[in-house]
Structure 1
Amino acid sequence: MCLIVFAWRVIPGVPVIACANRDEFYDRPATPAGPWPENPDIIAGRDLQGGGSWMGVTRTGPNGPKFAALTNIRAPNERRGDAPTRGALVADFLKGELDAPAYLDRIVGRAADYNGFNLILGDREGLYWFSNRAGGDPRNGKPLEPGIYGVSNGLLDAPWPKVVRTKASFASLLLQGAPEDAYFEMLADTTRAPDLRLPDTGMPIEVERELSPVCIELSGYGTRTSTVLRLYQDAEPELCERILRPEGVAAGR
């Protein structure tokens, strides 16, 4: 995932509402979101190259259904080719029996082995953000307070234009009680950010400019799926994924 906005305990009866875009090379093989054949309790897409996932939910868990999502941190000068796949962090949490605090305790000692990541995970009782690049952020690895959050390829709530814009739109749609299609319309925004507001991640300005929209449409790389997920207090979770073709047109749901 390269953009996630989510509300934690903002809407009564719906502890988590999350909207996300997955940006990836089009030739990297993956399966659409659905039950995993070897574990139908898991509903998630799967990266067939690394074997992990970027976002998913379970039907059950220690405190009810579990949710996890991941974004990479864009830091080309720090990237290691021998690092383990970050998608395993999502897959292992969804497959395992541990709750979020216990799982974070297990991975914190080896978090530095991975290239930079943001991991959001939890259940109906608690939601957590953890990053191996967060430094002294007091929220890192701690239960999040109720509110609306956003993360792209920087740290949680870093003021990247796409994060700021999408959080504002997301909050407005939540207040309106908007239909699901409105959230997908939000995720389809292809507006580029002004150069003066672009983050400096070590990439050339031309690349930062092309990666600045909420929905990316480039040759060979772009937004491949958009997802709207709801984790209910007293019902099974819902995950709706829209699959996009290279030109940004919806190809399936």
Structure 2
Amino acid sequence: MGGPLYHGGMCLIAFHWQTDGTLPLLVAANRDEFYARPTAPMAWWDGGRILAGRDLEAGGTWLGLTPAGRFAALTNHRDPKALRAGTPSRGQLPVRFLEGRGSAASFLDELRTEAPAFNPFSLLLYDGRDLLGYESRLDRRIAFTPGIHAVSNGAFDEPWPKVEALKAGMAAGGLDDEGLLGLLAEPRAYGDDLLPQTGVSLDWERALSPAFIRTPTYGTRASTLVRLGLETVMVLEQRFTRDGPQGRSEFRFERAG
């Protein structure tokens, strides 16, 4: 079984979006990537400007926040035929949003003109008021209805088995951090009749079908929980190597501004 012909961003993100209450946004996400790709764990960048993990090969991040509660996360669209060499790193896009102060809508308005320069991606942005998604391959912007949504390496809410299972698990309610991490750690593969057809081999479709991926060279590198409240924020990152759990970091802070 050869390696997959793409690099992972976040590769599975489920989120509960509420426009009222004290917890507008709850996120549970897995980042899948080659074990050999160097990565820095989640930490505050540049004196507390951004809280994120860091891709040490191309720079950028797959998921991050700011002290004011801005949030961004990225997944890459799985389609080997659409990949082009020499394109800019998609990991810079969450950083650019987090460094800015404009709305999610204005950021996406500006991004649309340059999005074709990147390999295909889906981007999730929260500016403290609005939660928007963007699928570059379709130039499609999404304003989410309240409730539970998810995305893997396809479209938002595309019914891949692991996407539907994670949404259903979150919808069951009452999940603490360990319960959410348990959903992200689900190793169950799915039958061939349920698998998407994304352009990789059937062996790879099978290997990539669980929420938690583990192959000799590629797998889930981090599981991340974000509880982004109106006043306080909690972030938990559980990291993995090919040999198992590696370390855990937790951050709690009051939203600034």
Instruction: Tell me the TM-score normalized by structure 1.
Output: 0.91
Partner amino acid for 1:44?
A
Separation of aligned partners in 2, 1:47 and 1:213: 23
2:61–2:92 Cα contact (<8 Å) kept: yes
Answer yes or no: is 1:42 the counterpart of 2:39.
no
Answer yes or no: is 1:151 the counterpart of 2:147.
no
Answer yes or no: is 1:28 the counterpart of 2:37.
yes
CA displacement at 1:124 relative to structure 2: 3.0
Q: Per-residue CA shift, 1:137-186, capped at 9, x if unaligned?
A: xxx324222121010000001111110111100111xx22x211110011
1:169–1:186 Cα contact (<8 Å) kept: yes
Partner amino acid for 2:241?
R
Q: Percent identity?
A: 40
Answer yes or no: is 1:15 the counterpart of 2:11.
no
Partner amino acid for 2:153?
N
Q: Per-residue CA shift, 1:197-242, capped at 9, x if unaligned?
A: 0000111101100010100011111000000001111x13211100
Q: Residues 150-229 of structure 1: matches in 2 within 5 Å?
A: 150-172=150-172, 175-176=173-174, 178-229=175-226
Q: 1:10 to 1:193 in 2, by over 3 A?
A: farther
Partner of 2:248: 252
Q: 1:39 to 1:108 in 2, by over 3 A?
A: farther
Separation of aligned partners in 2, 1:213 and 1:12: 32
Q: 1:10 to 1:197 in 2, by over 3 A?
A: farther
CA displacement at 1:12 relative to structure 2: 2.1
Separation of aligned partners in 2, 1:83 and 1:162: 29
- Quote the RMSD (CA, aligned, Å): 1.4
How many pairs are equivalent? 240
Separation of aligned partners in 1, 2:85 and 2:116: 14
Partner amino acid for 2:133?
W
Q: 1:59 to 1:220 in 2, by over 3 A?
A: same
Q: Which runs of 5+ in 2 are unaligned?
A: 1-9, 250-257
**Displaced runs of 4+ in structure 1, greater than 4 A?**
none
Partner amino acid for 1:239?
V
Q: 1:252 to 1:115 in 2, by over 3 A?
A: same
1:124–1:231 Cα contact (<8 Å) kept: no
CA displacement at 1:34 relative to structure 2: 1.2
Q: Helix, strand or coil: the match of 1:237?
A: strand
Separation of aligned partners in 1, 2:163 and 2:18: 20
Q: 1:180 to 1:11 in 2, by over 3 A?
A: farther
> Which of 5, 13, 24 lines up with 2:14 in the alignment?
5
1:244–1:252 Cα contact (<8 Å) kept: no
Q: Helix, strand or coil: the match of 1:69?
A: strand
CA displacement at 1:10 relative to structure 2: 6.8
Separation of aligned partners in 1, 2:233 and 2:85: 36
Q: Which runs of 5+ in 1 are unaligned?
A: none
Instruction: Tell me the TM-score normalized by structure 2.
Output: 0.90
Separation of aligned partners in 2, 1:147 and 1:215: 23
Q: Per-residue CA shift, 1:41-68, capped at 9, x if unaligned?
A: 31110111111100011112xxxx1000
Q: Helix, strand or coil: the match of 1:103?
A: helix
